[in-house]
A and B are shown apart, each in its own frame.
Chain A
């Protein structure tokens, strides 16, 4: 008993007792509070003492809330609910008063129950045997169950590693395919994982070589798809490599002939795939990704290809991410983009082409945002309740409200890698905590103010307005105006249905420009717009693209028929329609409206030459292998 300090216990002060009594509406005298405080301390110690035996018998070193509750239960005291989580509870203080408390976040049980992303790691309990010591001497074989970086590699594994890396990074496409397939299905390569991850992290050194980058990304994909690998914290490393490909102004993109756009698209898909399948392995991953994307997006110094990467990245992460990050950023970003697009100097041509790329990407992203949001509103039960909850719960709503789309709630403070500082640095973005979901009509009208009829999604918002004359745009815009009076503009009435943008995230659509310019009719409409909305870009763009006019004229006849469904009946709900799309065959559905540019798909026109003619928003490039599409294109888990 040399150390008497050790026996000091935590004490509950009489002030605390008084406060607690006050909160229960009881006024306590000093002496009573003192007595109570002492008794409370004693009871706490007693319960702690007896809870320790539950810990001992559970053969643990860590005393859990469960143990304490058992002790309470056996001494006929009500158990304390709500502290069963394994994670440490964040302990906060209020700055003004000296008040400390355990943060108690609200959890939406309904969402939790309906959550579709049941966390991984609930693997079946199993028993594995391994010979640890033979004749009392040394480890015979390394434990295969727990991969470790320091494990020494057997000769076979080393050989395998060399062959695989050589095959993947080598010249022979067939060999590479075989290697990737094996990497995807080999069950014995756990020990090599760190080495592969290291190889992949080499993306930073080959940023000049698109081909190599592509191969490395394929390697990532194979590793991620290997069911026998437990990626663990290597997920973080993989994600950072993939993010590099998405966001960095790669050396390869200096040459406009290099199709780094495809690489970015592919990397974005890969990112979303990693995230949806392994995101739970690293806490805070979702927020970290979002924050870095947001940071890039809000950084005007970054080149447009980085911005493009950020947008496709967000798009790939799901419409929630788009709603959360891209949408609030749009007004600010629009100004920059517009400046680029408005600059007709020859020296700017390349940049402008890039700008159109970004424009197209944004358009695709927000279209899906609108579509999904509408879907979630119209189907409140199937996970769509998230939108409702999100809107009612305000600032904390987001983290809690997206069962299918966002990972389990994570305290923001936990975000490592200085992400929080990113947030402050890139302050132009929406502050994380103040984010409130924008109601769909407002969102739609705002987006419409940017994109005009480029938006392929159409809404009817009222019960009575369901029966539009298809060719009567004024009615459409009027009905649109109602929910969003502030942003409505009489000029919008003159907008005509237009061809829509389609960012070709799915590599199946092999590079034909999907974006169509705006009709000249819009040239006059933008003048009434508020500057803040910066919507005049449309005007400028449309004026610059007279060549598109013909095509719009053509489409105008076709569009409305496909666009509007028979009038709705029943209670007022939002419905959405996707212009020109036959549901389920989205790509093919578009084709009729792209008549003008369809041939260009097959022609390998250099982007520069191309952009001189047309504001092309879309991707020109060679097709990516089909298999990627089957896995990713429309299978983002939404």
Chain B
């Protein structure tokens, strides 16, 4: 690194920044932590940062590391005397490294007299019995003190057009001795290994964030080789579920790379959250203070958020269950907000056979049938659910006649529903997309299972009729005028029989269609695509009605609200958006995820949306105010499937790690873990009565889980208060069946109203 900079020294014009850099290098040469330096760093944290960055920017990309003490020398107002000083320092440094030629050149260029150096440097070099290292330190020390004394406000002009990234990164500019990073880290490691067992697991949590931040600091300050060695030495100690992040980190060895690296920005912008018991924390704090290990302490202070709780330290298992996300665990406060997870009261509809009020989309069957089972699943009654939001919390569209008809149909079907259970598993029908040639990217079925739609990598959306009823377009306007509007079968007459076909293709997107969703009334279809748009299609005319532009990046998923009208979308831009079909701009933007939003789902009561992300967290958002009301951590990979239980109380999530996690929304707790799949889970669905959870995966299997049993646990007050969960490892007991497909990844699951399980995927020969 130094070698690279030497040619620059021979340039006739000297920037003071360069000169200063070399001073800094001298300090580094000292090899020991310098008390003076540390103080300097602590005393001027923020102002330094920006100024230092301006200095960095002013220089070429291959420039020197930033340093906390640079601002003063940058100032043009600094007098000639100061320049002289700097030059002397440079000369000193060069001489010490036996670079006599450079010394000569520099002296000639600067017009310094031969003796000026001797005069200045003589006292230190001459007396230096401790060898060059000792010399370096003294020099550095004296120089530093001079420089800091003369430092003043940083030049604002440059600082103004700082890109964000630099501000973010600049926090890494402070540095200790790179050689000592390993010492610090292994010192801490040694300490944590020797503490009592009960604390060890908790304290081990700090390893990963510390490791990352120390590594990034090394990289930021251009200690490439040191950084590599550091990584090499300690990356193996990190938990296996951080592997993906470490892989990204490992490829990052240059400061320039840090700009624009999203993973890194995420790390920096958000404090890594750790939950540690008070005892453990005290232990750590005492240790660091005793050792005067300020480097680590600084990192902990600046980049980590330690959520201290009173009580017993958590076990390793408990910690592992909750960790794994990009930004550590959720803070406890994050999950304290009240969530109205109950279902909305159904509007009264004159029913021919059953006037029981039920939820529209995910309603239960006849209550008397399932009363015994449903006790702990949140009882359904005619009364308003105490946990339900008020009926008008968010405005919902009024029911149309057709909706009411559909609900009646729904009720009728529900009476014929099969009661599922461990002894009564659903039949599974598989919809294979043939000749889709790797192109099938998304599937959705209407609630009444009459239509199936597929999104394809070739930018098309195709809709098939699953029933013998063919798909027909509405007649053209001219033809519609000819129709007798008073006739009884006007709805039939408006359809153009000539266009009847089993499937329709919708063209419009200019990139793969990643998300697809039918409206509950089956009149519309939403599709989200790589082209950054969401399109609303009419299933009457089979044309595109609206293109919603807002996400400027690929939109990974979209879903209609169970009540229609609203829909949610999320994509690469890390922001989930809530839209209404008649607004071309989003109504809400939910931002907070640190990486791509990979899937989005509406809560059955339409008051909440849930988003899963590549940052390995799940967030629940309140549609009313846009707040994030729950953050669930525990997945070890990007989340690709989410499903609410029909009663709105639970959430299931599946990720690339092949695990399904179950969450209690009301308490904000993880309540179960279902292990079994060997590949990414792309689809999850609860049966209509919440007895069975079906999961479909890339490993070409559909698995059925006993949801009743999985949720059948008492949440005690202590757990609710502390968030410490005890997960049973009972996946095998809960697994009711595992069903292979014929080399067809299962990318969508759906329970019909009679509890027949439909699965869909593209045959992949």
A38 and B434 contact, CB distance less than 8 A: no
A9 and B251 contact, CB distance less than 8 A: yes
Contacts A42-B252, A60-B438, A125-B433 known; A132 to B246 CB distance under 8 Å?
no
Q: Is A130 an interface residue (CB 8 A)?
A: yes
Q: Is B660 an interface residue (CB 8 A)?
A: no
A132 and B739 contact, CB distance less than 8 A: yes
Which one of A49-57, A103-111, A331-339 is at the B interface? A49-57
Q: Is B497 an interface residue (CB 8 A)?
A: no
Closest B-chain residue to A66, C-beta based?
Answer: B457
Residues of B with C-beta under 8 A to A129: 429-432, 466
**What are some 20 contacts across the A-B interface (CB < 8 A)?**
A7-B247, A38-B254, A42-B254, A49-B248, A53-B596, A58-B457, A58-B514, A62-B438, A123-B434, A125-B434, A125-B454, A125-B456, A127-B431, A127-B434, A127-B464, A131-B429, A135-B424, A143-B432, A145-B763, A146-B742
**Looking at the complex, which one of B427, B432, B435, B745 makes contact with A135 (CB distance below 8 Å)?**
B427
Q: What does the 1/0 interface line of B229-257 toward A look like (CB < 8 Å)? A: 00010011110100100111011111011
Q: Is A24 an interface residue (CB 8 A)?
A: no
**In the complex, A624→B598 CA distance in Å?**
66
Residues of A with C-beta under 8 A to B438: 58, 60, 62, 64
A130 and B429 contact, CB distance less than 8 A: yes
Q: Is A2 an interface residue (CB 8 A)?
A: yes
Query: What residues of chain B have their CB less than 8 Å away from a CB belonging to chain A?
Result: 3-4, 62, 232, 235-238, 240, 243, 246-248, 250-254, 256-257, 261, 424-436, 438-441, 452, 454, 456-457, 462, 464, 466, 503, 511-512, 514, 530, 553-554, 556, 572, 596, 598, 614, 638, 640, 656, 679-680, 682, 698, 704, 736-737, 739, 741-742, 745, 747, 759-760, 762-763, 765
Residues of A with C-beta under 8 A to B553: 74
Best-surrounded residue of B425, B457, B680 (most CB of chain A within 10 A): B457
3 tightest Cβ-Cβ pairs between the two chains A and B: A136-B425, A45-B251, A133-B428
Closest A-chain residue to B440, C-beta based?
Answer: A59
B614 and A53 contact, CB distance less than 8 A: yes
Contacts A70-B530, A125-B456 known; A56 to B737 CB distance under 8 Å?
no
Residues of B with C-beta under 8 A to A133: 425, 427-428, 737, 739
Closest B-chain residue to A44, C-beta based?
Answer: B251
Residues of A with C-beta under 8 A to B4: 31
Q: Is A87 an interface residue (CB 8 A)?
A: no
Query: What residues of chain A have their CB less than 8 Å away from a CB belonging to chain B?
Result: 1-2, 4, 7, 9, 31, 35, 38-39, 41-42, 45-46, 49, 53-54, 56-62, 64, 66, 70, 74, 121-137, 143, 145-146
**Looking at the complex, which one of A2, A9, A42, A136 makes contact with B736 (CB distance below 8 Å)?**
A136
Contacts A128-B434, A129-B430, A135-B427 known; A56 to B452 CB distance under 8 Å?
no
B434 and A1 contact, CB distance less than 8 A: no
**In the complex, A237→B233 CA distance in Å?**
58
What's the nearest-Cβ distance from chain B to residue A191, in Å? 14
B251 and A132 contact, CB distance less than 8 A: no
B698 and A145 contact, CB distance less than 8 A: no
**In the complex, A42→B264 CA distance in Å?**
14
Contacts A70-B530, A131-B429, A146-B763 known; A56 to B680 CB distance under 8 Å?
yes
**Looking at the complex, which one of A31, A66, A126 makes contact with B435 (CB distance below 8 Å)?**
A126
**In the complex, A62→B745 CA distance in Å?**
13
**In the complex, A606→B231 CA distance in Å?**
90
**In the complex, A263→B456 CA distance in Å?**
49
B698 and A59 contact, CB distance less than 8 A: yes
A127 and B432 contact, CB distance less than 8 A: yes
B257 and A42 contact, CB distance less than 8 A: yes
Best-surrounded residue of A2, A66, A130 (most CB of chain B within 10 A): A130
A58 and B512 contact, CB distance less than 8 A: yes
What's the nearest-Cβ distance from chain B to residue A580, in Å? 50
**In the complex, A506→B225 CA distance in Å?**
79
The total of interchain contacts (Cβ-Cβ below 8 angstroms) comes to 155
**Looking at the complex, which one of A56, A60, A62, A128 makes contact with B656 (CB distance below 8 Å)?**
A56
B430 and A1 contact, CB distance less than 8 A: no
Residues of A with C-beta under 8 A to B511: 70
A1 and B698 contact, CB distance less than 8 A: no
Residues of B with C-beta under 8 A to A9: 251
**In the complex, A389→B599 CA distance in Å?**
52
What's the nearest-Cβ distance from chain A to residue B637, in Å? 10
**In the complex, A358→B424 CA distance in Å?**
73
**In the complex, A9→B464 CA distance in Å?**
45
**In the complex, A131→B235 CA distance in Å?**
49
Closest B-chain residue to A9, C-beta based?
Answer: B251
**In the complex, A31→B251 CA distance in Å?**
20
Residues of B with C-beta under 8 A to A134: 427
A130 and B247 contact, CB distance less than 8 A: no
What's the nearest-Cβ distance from chain A to residue B216, in Å? 15
Residues of A with C-beta under 8 A to B253: 38, 42
A136 and B431 contact, CB distance less than 8 A: no
Residues of B with C-beta under 8 A to A145: 432, 434, 763
Best-surrounded residue of B252, B430, B745 (most CB of chain A within 10 A): B430
A35 and B425 contact, CB distance less than 8 A: no
Residues of A with C-beta under 8 A to B747: 59
Closest A-chain residue to B234, C-beta based?
Answer: A1
Closest B-chain residue to A133, C-beta based?
Answer: B428
Residues of A with C-beta under 8 A to B439: 125
Closest B-chain residue to A74, C-beta based?
Answer: B553
What's the nearest-Cβ distance from chain B to residue A280, in Å? 14
Contacts A56-B656, A133-B739, A136-B426 known; A7 to B250 CB distance under 8 Å?
yes
**In the complex, A123→B433 CA distance in Å?**
12
Residues of A with C-beta under 8 A to B440: 59
Closest A-chain residue to B231, C-beta based?
Answer: A7
**In the complex, A449→B736 CA distance in Å?**
81
Residues of A with C-beta under 8 A to B240: 1
B682 and A143 contact, CB distance less than 8 A: no
Closest B-chain residue to A58, C-beta based?
Answer: B441
Residues of A with C-beta under 8 A to B503: 126-127
Closest A-chain residue to B424, C-beta based?
Answer: A135
Best-surrounded residue of A54, A74, A125, A132 (most CB of chain B within 10 A): A125
**In the complex, A35→B232 CA distance in Å?**
21
Closest B-chain residue to A43, C-beta based?
Answer: B257
What's the nearest-Cβ distance from chain A to residue B622, in Å? 27
**In the complex, A64→B458 CA distance in Å?**
14
**In the complex, A62→B246 CA distance in Å?**
22
**In the complex, A331→B513 CA distance in Å?**
60
Residues of B with C-beta under 8 A to A57: 441, 512, 514, 554, 556, 598
User: With A42-B253, A133-B425 given, can you name 7 additional A-B contacts, CB distance below 8 Å?
Assistant: A7-B246, A39-B256, A54-B554, A129-B431, A131-B428, A136-B426, A143-B432
**In the complex, A7→B231 CA distance in Å?**
12
Contacts A42-B253, A46-B251, A59-B698 known; A132 to B236 CB distance under 8 Å?
no
What's the nearest-Cβ distance from chain A to residue B439, in Å? 8
**In the complex, A70→B464 CA distance in Å?**
29
**In the complex, A128→B235 CA distance in Å?**
49
What's the nearest-Cβ distance from chain A to residue B256, in Å? 7
What's the nearest-Cβ distance from chain B to residue A187, in Å? 16
What's the nearest-Cβ distance from chain A to residue B236, in Å? 5
**Looking at the complex, which one of B252, B435, B656, B679 makes contact with A125 (CB distance below 8 Å)?**
B435
What's the nearest-Cβ distance from chain A to residue B99, in Å? 18
A1 and B243 contact, CB distance less than 8 A: yes
Closest B-chain residue to A121, C-beta based?
Answer: B435
What's the nearest-Cβ distance from chain A to residue B576, in Å? 16
**In the complex, A53→B556 CA distance in Å?**
10
Residues of B with C-beta under 8 A to A127: 431-434, 452, 454, 464, 466, 503, 760
Closest B-chain residue to A31, C-beta based?
Answer: B4
**In the complex, A46→B257 CA distance in Å?**
10
Residues of B with C-beta under 8 A to A125: 433-436, 439, 454, 456, 462
Residues of A with C-beta under 8 A to B638: 53, 56
A41 and B680 contact, CB distance less than 8 A: no
**In the complex, A413→B505 CA distance in Å?**
40
Closest A-chain residue to B571, C-beta based?
Answer: A57
**Looking at the complex, which one of B3, B62, B251, B554 makes contact with A74 (CB distance below 8 Å)?**
B554
